[in-house]
Amino acid sequence: MRHAPAIAARHPFVLDVEPGTYYWCRCGRSGTQPFCDGSHKETEYTPMKVEITEKQKIAFCGCKHTGNQPRCDGTHKTLS
């Protein structure tokens, strides 16, 4: 059975990102949210590799419960 990820924040992390490779934290434990810092190693989660090809603004999910990983879909508004 998979445990639910920790809720890192009840809001998205809206960032301007440059082209490159990023690793979005799925476990919710990272101290460098919304990106991975290796804290998942004691969980069953792994980070999600995100390839950005052009400069853009992204609303990365902070609650880790989005249905549109790694982007925020508003799920944080429904969590108790």
The pTM of the full predicted model, rounded to 2 decimals, is 0.93
* Distances in whole angstroms, Cα of residue 40 to Cα of each of 24, 50, 58: 11, 17, 23
Nearest-angstrom CA–CA distance, 75 and 12: 10
The string of pLDDT tens digits covering residues 10-25 is 999 999 999 999 999 9
The string of pLDDT tens digits covering residues 53-78 is 999 999 999 999 999 999 999 999 99
